[in-house]
Chains A and B, each alone.
Chain A
Amino acid sequence: MSASVQTLVSQPYKYGFTTDIEADVIPRGLSEDVVRLISAKKNEPQFMLEFRLRAYRKWLTMAEPVWPNVNYPPIDYQNIIYYSAPKTQPKKLGSLDEVDPTLLDTFEKLGIPLSEQKRLANVAVDAIFDSVSVATTFKAKLAEVGVIFCSISEALQEHPELVEKYMGTVIPIGDNYFAALNSAVFSDGSFVYIPKDTQCPMDLSTYFRINNGDSGQFERTLIVAEAGSSVTYLEGCTAPMYDSNQLHAAIVELVAMDDATINYSTVQNWYAGDENGKGGIYNFVTKRGLCAGKNSKISWTQVETGSAITWKYPSCVLVGDNSVGEFYSVALTNHHQQADTGSKMVHVGKNTRSTIISKGISAAKSKNSYRGLVKIGPKATGARNYSQCDSMLIGDTSSANTFPYIQVQNSTAQVEHEASTSKIGEDQLFYFAQRGISPEDAVSMIISGFCRDVFNKLPMEFAAEADKLLALKLENTVG
């Protein structure tokens, strides 16, 4: 790598500002009292408190997983603030005009205009700042067709029966260490309910922002698509630059009934730490979709570019006959970032199909691992899976690993897995140079070609953003 490459790699993180806003913060640490306090602050129904306490007690008995291919100093769970909310938040917002202008400005700066008049794109947004949802746009319009799109806190007040029915059904409280922690202390998140035979009229989106340097963010998203419905959901995230590491342990649960379709896309751009690996978010996330009904379909698309450490396996449990699970991922790591990510496809029902396409790009001293599981149960007659994971290495100090687990217990299943590793060759760059294309442009073209299969699955605006994001992140990593 040439010197100019080095300078270009250190592209500043443009979302690294902090917002100076008075916050309602509870003391550091975690105990049963803290769990009760969070629940009380949010004025939650009794079942929710019990759910949290069960999760907390379970969490106490669990150990932090050590199997991921990542290294980090031990996390002090007593030194984290589990609840932080902007103080000026009124109890109930009549309209967006009542939202604190500082907050609106913050989201404006992030490129997420919350005021509906200004919004041209046909996307409804739920904006989450530290622990609480500050605004949800287009609610009225969505309500016309019966779609519920609001924060989890609001859903707990207005639709407790729906939350109680579905929460924890896909990811049980004791699923894993971080899921148990989230179940105990989750602060907010989005709730989506699409009624029977409804095509959601616009894309839904949640934007997550961590502002407080010492708080963890534990959000929880629940999407339920009733029979015959469909929805496209987008998720974005950023955080300010701090020298310390912040913990982000989220849960996303999706439930798709007969013939329902859920498309879930993420562009994850949490602060990744500086070039020496200082600071950044620990992104320990559990995402799982349940294809409960026949012919249902869940599709995950993710572009992972941020976070110091990513530990995340968006999964599909294919219970309904003929259900379909998809996972499309681009994971890019640079500097000292570490990513251990992939997907799990659990085939239970007959004729279930799944596809995994994973593209990993690792540059500088980063570590990028694909870890996946394809499990075909004994009753999943005619199940079909195709997995492909390609890695691209930039520079000889980065590493790429694949750990695919394939477990088959049904002879009629057909499972295929392919993986390859390669680099951007001198000859490729030379070929571009011959045609008058600079190395920077060449690299970005090669990368965008490498990721094409995944970007094609993203909604339009996101695809353009993702392409630019990768180009920016990798500028001058190849000289």
Chain B
Amino acid sequence: MANSVSEVSTMAATDPREVYLQGLVQTVKAAVPEDLALSNLRSRTELLLKEQTFPSPRQEDWRFTDLSALLAIAFTSPGATSGATTVAEADIADLRLPETTGAQLVVVNGRFSAELSQVEGLPPGAIAGSLRTLATQLDPDQLADRLAQASGGHDVFTALNTVGFGDAVVVWLPRNSVVETPLQIIYVSQPEAHPLIVQPRCLVVAESGSALTLIEDFWGEASDTHFTNAVTELWLDANAQITHSRIQHEGAGTFQIAKTVVTQARDSQYLGTAVDFGAKLARHNWEIYQTGEQTTTKLYGLGAIAANQHSDTHSLVALSHPHGVVEQEHKAIVDGKAHSVFNGRMAVAQKAQHTSASQLNRNLLLSDQARVDTKPQLEIVADNVKCAHGATVSQLQSDEIFYLQSRGISAPQAQRLLIYAFAMEILDRIPLATLRSRLAQTIAQWA
């Protein structure tokens, strides 16, 4: 690895990927509003980016996800005027979940929209809204300790977001505050004259003993070509609980590269569900870092893609303390010429004794031109651990279809039923009934 980095930097001036990345950096920097300068953080991060290049499939981490298509597009940052005014309530009304009434934050092209958002009924001391308007209510030192401070911040796209995010959603829960209503964040992309690079940013801090149910919803128009580079940082202090659902149904022309980074302190519990339906090319880096013992982490993922879609999930669970429990299940349904990639890494350090970790990756191939690349990866140094992982790739079992046919269910119906069941094992983890049934409907139509 060290070798390839030095190779890259020596040919800096001529490498088109390097040039492209630096161009992106300038584009996103230009859009940073004056009231969110964060100059220390941003200039420090920009230095990190100087040493990097735009990823190519020759890098192990990007081997199966080729970003060359992006290189041909000159993205621009959203205009300063973009925001609430251009998105009508009718456009997003369907996305609002009834369970979350009163706790909906709407972000348009990476900027928080006060008109479309509503936050009521938060417990005392809890904060939710735009970083630009809430900055005065937050302790600057505490903010500096959290914002962009999670591990893995040097990754090229995470750093790019840090250098140029124009606004951020902040949810801050003080000690022992339990948010009863699930909180929904809706990220909408609104096309402009030129293809946009949109950089949503979200920071959630759950101080010790607090609890939150969070839904992140990424939505875009079908015809729109844009590049979403999203970063969500979740901090779970001791005993905190976050139930997180991340739904990605961007438009068919969208490139989405996203990072969800979860930092878990002692006794905290994180339950995450990630659903990938949309986008032309989607990459989700889901990283969990443990900072205390006895944490519980549950990760459930579902991708359902067809046509020329490409969906890539790279998860990392880094355990460095004893008694951690991890359960991960990732499923993909791949049809048409779609390509699904899964890389699930579990790193168990020497101190993480008594870890119990399991990982299962299951892939359903529905067409002859569909493709799956999967790599469940265990790295273990501690000896007193129980770790297991499994991966399967197959089409629907003919005997299962036959079983249903023998009971009078037609073959296409049987196939639909089996796909539905395959997907529901993941979707059932989502705590909101409305959201669950909406997603189930998509699967039912899709099959």
Contact = CB atoms under 8 A, between A and B. Distances in A.
B383 A401 contact: no
Contacts of B382: 393, 396
Nearest to B366: A411
B391 interface: yes
Nearest to A420: B388
Interface in B1-41: 1, 3-4
Interface string A408-421: 11111111111111
A421 B376 contact: no
Interface in A371-410: 376, 378, 391, 393-410
Interface string B354-392: 000000000101111111111111111111111111111
Contact of B395 (A378, A393, A411): A411
A221 to B, nearest CB: 31
A421 B391 contact: no
Given A397-B350, A419-B390, A406 B383 contact: no
A386 to B, nearest CB: 10
A67 interface: yes
A406 B373 contact: yes
Nearest to A396: B383
A406 B393 CA distance: 9
A418 B365 contact: no
Nearest to A409: B371
Contact of A421 (B366, B368, B388, B393): B388
Contact of B380 (A405, A417, A421): A421
A87 interface: no
A135 to B, nearest CB: 44
B394 interface: yes
Given A396-B383, A402-B377, A421-B380, A411 B390 contact: no
A304 B366 CA distance: 40
Contacts of A397: 350, 381
B353 interface: yes
A25 to B, nearest CB: 34
Q: Is the interface of A mostly helix, strand, loop or mixed?
A: strand
Contacts of A402: 376-378, 389
A417 B388 CA distance: 11
A66 interface: yes
B169 to A, nearest CB: 36
B172 to A, nearest CB: 38
A423 interface: yes
A422 interface: yes
A415 B365 CA distance: 11
B376 A422 contact: no
B1 A66 contact: yes
Contacts of A410: 365, 368
Contact of B384 (A66, A396, A420): A396
Nearest to B3: A66
A398 B381 contact: yes
A396 B350 CA distance: 6
A204 B3 CA distance: 43
A396 B353 contact: yes
A198 B60 CA distance: 45
Interface residues of A, number: 36
Interface in B379-414: 379-395
A414 B350 CA distance: 35
A411 B389 contact: no
B415 to A, nearest CB: 12
Contacts, number: 118
A413 B394 contact: yes
B391 A417 contact: yes
A419 B375 CA distance: 12
Interface in B49-71: 60
A426 to B, nearest CB: 9
Contacts of A419: 376, 378, 388-390
Contacts of A412: 368, 395
Interface residues of B, number: 38
Contact of A422 (B4, B363, B386): B386
A420 B381 contact: no
A391 B380 contact: yes
A124 B212 CA distance: 71
Contacts of B377: 401-404
A395 B372 contact: no
A400 B388 CA distance: 12
A400 B380 contact: yes
Given A398-B381, A404-B375, A406-B393, A411 B367 contact: yes
Contacts of B381: 396-399
Nearest to A372: B375
A405 B394 contact: no
Nearest to A368: B380
A288 B49 CA distance: 42
B151 to A, nearest CB: 20
A391 B367 CA distance: 35
A410 to B, nearest CB: 6
B376 A378 contact: no
Contacts of B384: 396, 423
B375 A393 contact: no
A421 B395 contact: no
Most buried by B among A393, A396, A406, A415: A406
Contacts of A421: 378, 380, 385-388
A391 B365 CA distance: 30
Nearest to A415: B393
Contacts of B391: 404, 406, 415-417
Contacts of B4: 66
Given A67-B60, A413-B394, A407 B389 contact: no
A391 B378 CA distance: 10
Contact of A408 (B3, B363, B379, B389): B363
A395 B367 CA distance: 47
Contacts of B1: 66
A407 B391 CA distance: 11
A394 B390 CA distance: 23
Contact of A394 (B370, B372, B375, B383): B383
B281 to A, nearest CB: 18
A57 to B, nearest CB: 22
Contacts of B385: 393, 421-423
A418 B380 contact: no
Given A417-B390, A421-B385, A411 B370 contact: yes
Contacts of B392: 414-417
B308 to A, nearest CB: 15
A417 B365 CA distance: 16
B365 A416 contact: no
Nearest to A425: B384
A97 B380 CA distance: 53
Contacts of A403: 375, 377
Contacts of B375: 403-406
A399 B377 CA distance: 13
A378 B383 contact: no
Contacts of B386: 420-422
B316 to A, nearest CB: 14
Contact of A413 (B60, B389, B393): B393
A399 B387 CA distance: 13
B379 A411 contact: no
Interface in B220-271: none
Contacts of A401: 377-380
Interface of A: 66-67, 376, 378, 391, 393-423
14 contacts: A378-B368, A378-B369, A393-B382, A395-B383, A396-B384, A397-B381, A401-B378, A402-B376, A406-B372, A413-B395, A417-B390, A417-B392, A420-B387, A420-B388
Given A391-B380, A414-B395, 16 more contacts: A66-B1, A393-B382, A394-B383, A395-B383, A404-B376, A405-B373, A407-B371, A408-B372, A409-B370, A411-B368, A411-B370, A412-B368, A414-B393, A415-B392, A415-B394, A418-B388
Interface of B: 1, 3-4, 60, 350, 353, 363, 365-395
Q: Which 3 A-B pairs have the closest CB atoms?
A: A411-B365, A393-B383, A415-B393
